[in-house]
């Protein structure tokens, strides 16, 4: 039997090369290497907060695959359900360094090993050992087989009485068109318990403008909790039981890199809910880790340990 996990997630981790000097990406001459990927960010964040977390993916039998597996293991993430293939390579990306705004990111992930994840890779015992499943829509955008895996994993966990969270993580360039993206993600949302969109994402997905209306759209479709990220202003939440509220954001001294902020927010909300904290406190923790993320250069550099999180939140009171 698999050892019990607090949470499990799946997706495509990538080797990331990020420029060491600011400027156009094509002019960069020096890069550093790190682990990247929305789901691996969340797994890392949960693990640093002492939640036993498993990560499921498929990697190429190459140097990038070895690097990713070791990076995940160093974070204390369970990698026993990772599979490997000689046929397809591990995905990678390169990212620019900016002094303000969002960095330029270029992906090399078409026909990657992770995009070949399929139902044949689904280990029922492994998923059943976890109390919670976190999903992003990125997996469904990678391939038909990844989408089938996503649907099956969500349905399996729901039927097993586990909780499921979904971060839409919109990546328009990965989808054939906007209509397919919107319809697929909205279908995924009906299969989760906790939905975590940004306000801009919610507007694209529903055509509605206010946090209250966007939350209502998903609550009417069976979601039990909707938390909408509002950037520096914080977040809004509403439950199927009618509990709702706005939670202020934390002061950010300087925005260094916005990539990974949403994943940090998810880490905060999910970890707190798994600890059975009140929803308002969970959203507050999400805001705190999101703030730490944007003040740090890498995708996961700002993800705190439990001690670091407490210090930041106490200092911000």
Instruction: Give per-residue pLDDT as tens, 286-298.
Output: 999 999 998 887 7
Summarize the confidence of residues 258-274 as an average pLDDT. Answer: 93
Per residue in 166-203, pLDDT (tens digit) is: 999 999 999 999 999 999 999 999 999 999 999 999 99
What does residue 226 show for φ and ψ, rounded to 5 degrees?
-120, 125
Please say if 263 is a catalytic residue: yes
The residue annotated as part of the active site, out of 167, 193, 257, 263, is: 263
Confidence of residue 2 (pLDDT cuts 50, 70, 90): low
- Half-sphere exposure of 14 toward its Cβ, with a 13 Å CA cutoff? 23
Kindly report whether the global pTM for this prediction surpasses the value 0.85. Answer: yes
Confidence of residue 317 (pLDDT cuts 50, 70, 90): low
Q: State the sign of the Cα–Cα–Cα–Cα dihedral 153, 155, 158, 160.
A: negative
């Amino acid at each position: 039997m698999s050892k019990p996990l607090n949470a499990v997630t799946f997706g495509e981790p990538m080797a990331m090369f990020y420029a060491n000097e600011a400027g156009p990406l094509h002019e960069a001459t020096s890069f550093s290497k790190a682990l990247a990927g929305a789901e691996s960010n969340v797994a890392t964040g949960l693990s640093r907060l002492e939640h036993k977390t498993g990560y499921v993916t498929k990697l190429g039998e190459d140097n990038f695959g070895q690097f990713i597996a070791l990076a995940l293991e160093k974070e204390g993430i369970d990698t026993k359900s990772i599979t490997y293939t000689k046929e397809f390579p591990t995905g990678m990306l390169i990212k620019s360094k900016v002094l303000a705004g969002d960095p330029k990111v270029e992906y090399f992930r078409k026909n990657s090993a992770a995009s070949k994840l399929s139902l044949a890779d689904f280990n029922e015992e492994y998923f059943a050992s976890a109390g919670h499943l976190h999903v992003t829509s990125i997996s469904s955008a990678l391939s038909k087989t990844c989408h089938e895996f996503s649907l099956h994993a969500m349905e399996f966990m729901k039927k097993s009485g586990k909780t499921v969270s979904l971060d839409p993580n919109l990546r328009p360039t990965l989808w054939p068109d906007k209509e397919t993206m919107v319809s697929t993600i909205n279908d995924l949302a009906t299969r989760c318990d906790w939905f975590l969109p940004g306000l801009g994402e919610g507007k694209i997905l529903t055509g509605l403008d206010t946090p209250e209306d966007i939350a209502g759209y998903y609550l009417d479709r069976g979601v039990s909790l909707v938390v909408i990220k509002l950037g520096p202003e914080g977040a809004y939440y509403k439950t199927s039981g009618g509990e709702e509220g706005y939670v202020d954001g934390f002061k950010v001294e300087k925005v260094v890199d916005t990539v990974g902020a949403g994943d940090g927010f998810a880490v905060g909300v999910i970890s707190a809910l798994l600890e059975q904290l009140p929803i308002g406190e969970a959203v507050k923790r999400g805001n705190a880790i999101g703030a730490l993320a944007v003040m740090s250069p890498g995708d996961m550099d700002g993800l705190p340990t439990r001690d670091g999180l407490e210090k930041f939140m106490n200092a911000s009171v």
